[in-house]
Homo-oligomer: A and B are copies of this chain.
Amino acid sequence: MRMTRIVKLILENYESDNPGTKSNIARILMNGKLGGTGRLLILPVDQGYEHGPARSFAPNPEAYDPHYHYKLAIDAGLSAYAAPLGMIEAGANSYVGQIPTILKINSSNSWATSKDQAVHGSVDDALRLGCSAVGFSIYPGSDHQFEMMEELREIALEAKQLGLAVVVWSYPRGGDLSKEGETAIDVCAYAAHMAALMGAHIIKVKPPSVHVEQDEAKKAYKDVNLKSLSNRVSHVMKSSFNHRRIVVFSGGAAKDTEGLLDEIREIRDGGGHGSIIGRNTFQRPRDEAIILLNKIIDIYKGKD
Report which A residues bind B (CB closer than 8 A): 1-3, 11, 13-27, 30-31, 48-49, 51-55, 57-59, 61, 64-66, 74, 84-99, 107, 109-114, 116-122, 124-125, 127-131, 140-143, 145-146, 148-150, 152-154, 157, 161-163, 172, 174-177, 186, 189-190, 193-200, 214, 216-217, 219-221, 223-224, 235, 238-239, 241-242, 244-245
Contacts and interface: CB of A to CB of B under 8 A. Distances in A.
A129 B22 CA distance: 9
A220 B59 contact: yes
A241 B88 CA distance: 11
Contacts of A129: 16, 18-20, 163
Given A19-B130, A89-B16, A122 B214 contact: no
Contact of A15 (B90, B127, B223): B90
30 contacts: A1-B98, A22-B93, A22-B97, A25-B97, A48-B239, A49-B194, A52-B190, A52-B217, A53-B190, A54-B189, A59-B220, A64-B241, A64-B242, A85-B197, A86-B197, A86-B198, A86-B241, A87-B197, A107-B197, A110-B190, A112-B175, A113-B142, A118-B146, A118-B150, A118-B153, A119-B146, A119-B153, A122-B157, A124-B157, A127-B161
A225 to B, nearest CB: 12
A112 B145 contact: yes
A165 B297 CA distance: 34
B153 A122 contact: yes
B11 A96 contact: yes
Nearest to A118: B149
